Chain A
């Protein structure tokens, strides 16, 4: 996954697309805000989701944050490893800490998401 070539949501999720498969995770900004992640709850493979549907929760030491699907499609893979070792999300948010892979119904939905540069600007606005 290459952050500069990914799309981002205002909820700090990233989407990296290869061959119509969208890999989804959360950004290093999100892991920094949450702190140590202790639990990840993900949906099952073959679940069909619409854009913005809830797809699970992440729990850090004090916070439960909901996850939303940035695109519509069918979940083709989940990262079992992060449910066993949630700290992987902290140590490698753009790498081994990915969450799910979705076969997209409509790649056009990506157009509504932030580019890497737009996401950096969004983070700057939040910090003001």
Chain B
């Protein structure tokens, strides 16, 4: 089978990261290209919200402004997530044969299998969830990490990853964050409402292994496990000039979406 493409990326702002993933989805929709696995992190930390979420209703803009946290809308589903102390992956691919002939749930399951294998190889006893929900976090405004869906990755019932997907007529984007350190539980500080401590509902690589320095080993493990699960290899990919133009434009739009709202509520 034809190889996948790999972007073993560095840290970017939330706006740039989301613009890159959107560009990769656009590329998958518009050409006969192989799937792309991208690994990346966020700097500065960012809160991302789901495509249809109303930030005025769920996000505390003042706290974000105070702590220098970006706010960005994803084009994928799911709920609010704080990107800090984690490794994020994205997979973008054309739908259908030869790479992803199955449906939505099969795609979720296969990607989760690869992530479970990667986590196991660095000493995390991860498994695939059966989709039960936790008691806290009813409704669309709750943090992403307080519920598990079918085929998500957890450790003894505690969530260690949050994923979301966008499907178009001909391609899909799935991205998600694997928690390296406990920082992501800080999401409750940036949401409106009276959220309790969610640390008992989630875990991290550091908590499971005792090591705070597994970013690079997890990256390597992800590349190896995706190659095994999908029976493929990787060619390193770089984005061309036209792609960079689209990404720059997309990131500019994204970074300005909540600027006025943050400014007014942050000084209020």
Residues of A that sit less than 8 Å from B by CB: 11, 29, 33-35, 38-39, 41, 52, 57, 59-66, 68, 126-128
A87 to B176, CA, bound (A): 25
How far, in angstroms, from A57 to B76 measured CA to CA in the complex? 11
B105 contacts which chain A residues (CB < 8 A)? 33
A64 with B169: CB separation less than 8 A: no
Q: Which of A33, A41, A61, A126 contacts B77 (CB 8 A)?
A: A61
Minimal Cβ-Cβ distance residue in A for B105: A33
Apart from A38-B140, A63-B167, A66-B167: 5 A-B pairs, beta carbons within 8 A: A11-B169, A35-B150, A59-B77, A62-B164, A64-B165
Closest 7 pairs between A and B when the two form their complex, measured CB to CB: A33-B104, A63-B165, A39-B52, A65-B167, A64-B77, A63-B77, A64-B51
**Contact status B51-A57, CB under 8 Å:** yes
Task: Decide if A126 touches B140 in the complex (CB within 8 Å).
Answer: no
- Whether A63 pairs with B169 at a CB distance below 8 angstroms is no
- Interface size range on B against A: 20 to 34
A126 to B101, CA, bound (A): 6
Closest CB in chain B relative to A77 CB, distance in Å? 23
Chain B contacts for A59, CB-based, 8 A: 50-52, 77
Quick check: B78 and A62 within 8 Å, CB to CB? Answer: yes
Whether B78 pairs with A61 at a CB distance below 8 angstroms is yes
Given A33-B105, A35-B149, A126-B103; A63-B168 close (CB under 8 Å): no
Name B109-147 residues within 8 Å CB distance of A: 140, 147
Centre residue among A38, A61, A68 by max chain B CB count within 10 A: A61
A34, A39, A57, A66: which contacts B169 (Cβ < 8 A)?
Answer: A66
List the interface of chain B (C-beta within 8 A of A). 50-52, 75-78, 101-105, 108, 140, 147, 149-150, 163-169
**Structural contact, B103 and A66, CB atoms closer than 8 A:** no
Minimum CB distance partner of B52 in chain A: A39
A16 vs B13: C-alpha distance when bound (angstroms): 46
CA–CA, A116 to B167, complex, Å? Answer: 23
Min CB distance B134 to A, Å, is: 13
Cβ-defined contact, A68 with B169, below 8 A: yes
Please name the residue on chain B nearest to A12 by beta carbon: B103
A93 to B103 CA separation, bound complex (whole angstroms):
18
CB <8 Å contact, B149 and A64: no
A34 near B50: Cβ-Cβ < 8 Å:
no
Q: Does A62 lie within 8 Å of B168, measured CB to CB?
A: no
- Asked if A61 and B149 make an inter-chain contact with CB atoms under 8 angstroms apart, the answer reads yes
Q: Nearest chain B CB to A38's CB is how many angstroms away? A: 6
Q: Return the contact of B76 from the options A11, A33, A39, A64 (Cβ within 8 A).
A: A64
Q: Which residue in chain B gives the minimum CB-CB distance to A36?
A: B149
Q: Whole-angstrom distance between the alpha carbons of A11 and B104 in the complex?
A: 11
Can you name 22 A-B pairs with beta carbons within 8 Å?
A29-B103, A35-B150, A38-B140, A39-B52, A39-B140, A60-B77, A62-B76, A62-B149, A62-B165, A63-B76, A63-B77, A63-B104, A63-B165, A63-B167, A64-B52, A64-B76, A64-B166, A64-B167, A65-B166, A66-B166, A126-B102, A126-B103
Complex: A38 Cα to B164 Cα, angstroms: 14
Given contacts A38-B140, A126-B102, A126-B103, contact A64 B75 (CB under 8 A): yes
A64: chain B residues within 8 A (beta carbon): 50-52, 75-77, 164-167
